[in-house]
C-alpha cells in the first residue's frame, strides 16, 4: 500500500470533478437557482358565458406557464365578474383535458415545474347556497318525475312535454333571483393563487353584453318547464361567446 497522500494523486481530483459534474447535471441550470417563483397566463380572446337556473358560469381557455426558477403549486383559480355595483365570483371547478371531451375533469390543485405549461379549457361556476341547492334538488326531481309520468306511452321522438306550472315555479323563482347576465359593460378579474404568494397573479379584462345577448341567456328561463337546463340540456339553451379585451 502506497504511503503517498491521496490528495497528491491527480486521479483523485479527476474523480472528484466527474462526481461534481454528474451532481450538477441533475440540478436546474445555475441561472435558475436564484430565480423566484413566477407565473404568466394567456387567456383566449373569447369567453363562453352561461347559466344554471340563473346562476352564472363560464368556460375559458387558459394557458398558465411557470416562467420562474421554482416549482409552483396552483391552489385556486377564480374569476370575478363586475357590472357597476353588481359583483359575482366564480370558482374554477373543472377543466377539459382534451378539446374533444364532452365533460370536464375535476380541477384540483396542481404543480408546475420551471418552464412547464398547463393549457386547458376551464369551467368556472358560482357556487349556490345550501338553501338554493336544497330547493333546486327537490324541484328538479318533482319536474323530472312529472314529465316522466306524462311521457308514458308517448313515442321517443314526441316533442317536449311541460311539467305542471306549480312544480316549475320554484325553479323559475331561483332563476329570477340568481340571473346575473344583464346588458352592460363588464370587467372580469382572473386571479391565480399559489403556495408562493409572490407568484400569485391577477389579470383584468373587459367585455360588453348587449341587450339581445342578455335576452338570449334570459330566454333559458322558458325552457325550465320542459326540464331543459334541469335534467338535460340542448338548444335553444346554449352559451354566449363574448369577446374579451385586456385592461391595461
Q: How many CB atoms lie within 10 A of CB 115?
A: 12
Question: Which tens digits make up the pLDDT trace of 119-150?
Answer: 999 999 999 999 999 999 999 999 999 999 99
Indicate whether 199 belongs to any domain: yes
Question: Which tens digits make up the pLDDT trace of 100-117?
Answer: 898 999 999 999 999 999
Q: Looking at the DSSP assignment, which residues form a beta bridge with residue 110?
A: 74
How far, CA to CA in Å, does 117 sit from each of 64, 155, 196, 199?
6, 50, 17, 15
Whether omega for the bond prior to residue 236 falls within 30 degrees of 0, making it cis, is yes
Query: What's the mean pLDDT in 57-81?
Result: 97
> Distance (Å, rounded) from C-alpha 64 to C-alpha 39?
7
Indicate whether 7 belongs to any domain: no
Indicate whether 233 belongs to any domain: yes
| Per-residue pLDDT at 20 exceeds 90 | no
The CB-side HSE value for 168 (13 A sphere, CA atoms) comes to 16
Query: What's the mean pLDDT in 209-235?
Result: 97
| Per-residue pLDDT at 29 exceeds 80 | no
Supply the pTM of this predicted model. 0.84
Indicate whether 20 belongs to any domain: no
Secondary structure class of 119 (helix, strand, coil): strand
Q: Provide the number of structural domains found in the chain.
A: 1
Indicate whether 10 belongs to any domain: no
> Distance (Å, rounded) from C-alpha 174 to C-alpha 35?
50
Indicate whether 3 belongs to any domain: no
Indicate whether 99 belongs to any domain: yes
Q: What is the CATH number of the domain that holds 164?
A: 2.60.40.10
Secondary structure class of 176 (helix, strand, coil): helix
**pLDDT given for residue 102 in this prediction:** 86
Range of the domain at 124: 33-134+145-246
Q: What are phi and psi of 65, to 5 degrees?
A: -125, 135
**Do residues 176 and 53 make contact, with C-beta atoms less than 8 angstroms apart?**
no
Indicate whether 97 belongs to any domain: yes
Question: Which tens digits make up the pLDDT trace of 201-212?
Answer: 999 999 999 999
For 65, counting Cβ atoms within 10 Å of its Cβ (0-12 exposed, 13-18 middle, 19+ buried), the class is middle
Instruction: Pull the grid cell for residue 169.
Output: 315555479
* Nearest by Cα to 171 from 225, 217, 218: 225
Question: Which tens digits make up the pLDDT trace of 81-97?
Answer: 999 999 999 999 999 99
Amino acid at each position: 500500500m502506497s504511503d503517498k497522500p491521496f490528495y497528491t494523486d491527480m486521479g483523485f481530483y479527476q474523480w472528484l470533478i466527474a462526481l461534481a459534474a454528474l451532481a450538477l447535471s441533475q440540478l436546474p441550470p445555475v441561472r435558475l437557482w436564484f430565480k423566484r417563483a413566477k407565473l404568466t397566463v394567456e387567456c383566449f380572446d373569447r369567453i363562453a358565458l352561461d347559466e344554471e337556473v340563473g346562476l352564472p358560469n363560464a368556460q375559458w381557455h387558459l394557458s398558465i406557464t411557470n416562467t420562474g426558477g421554482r416549482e409552483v403549486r396552483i391552489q385556486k383559480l377564480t374569476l370575478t365578474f363586475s357590472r357597476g355595483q353588481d359583483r359575482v365570483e366564480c370558482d374554477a371547478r373543472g377543466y377539459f383535458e382534451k378539446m374533444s371531451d364532452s365533460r370536464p375533469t375535476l380541477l384540483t390543485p396542481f404543480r408546475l415545474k420551471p418552464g412547464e405549461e398547463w393549457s386547458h379549457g376551464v369551467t368556472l361556476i358560482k357556487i349556490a347556497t345550501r338553501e338554493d341547492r336544497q330547493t333546486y334538488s327537490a324541484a328538479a326531481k318533482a319536474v323530472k318525475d312529472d314529465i316522466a309520468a306524462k311521457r308514458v306511452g308517448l313515442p321517443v321522438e314526441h316533442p317536449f312535454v311541460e311539467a305542471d306550472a306549480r312544480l316549475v315555479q320554484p325553479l323559475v323563482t331561483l332563476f329570477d333571483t340568481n340571473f346575473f347576465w344583464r346588458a352592460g359593460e363588464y370587467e372580469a378579474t382572473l386571479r391565480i393563487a399559489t403556495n408562493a404568494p409572490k407568484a400569485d397573479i391577477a389579470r383584468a379584462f373587459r367585455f360588453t353584453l348587449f341587450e339581445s345577448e342578455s335576452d338570449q341567456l334570459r330566454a333559458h328561463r322558458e325552457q325550465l318547464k320542459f326540464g331543459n337546463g334541469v335534467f338535460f340540456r340542448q338548444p335553444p339553451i346554449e352559451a354566449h361567446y363574448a369577446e374579451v379585451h385586456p385592461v391595461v
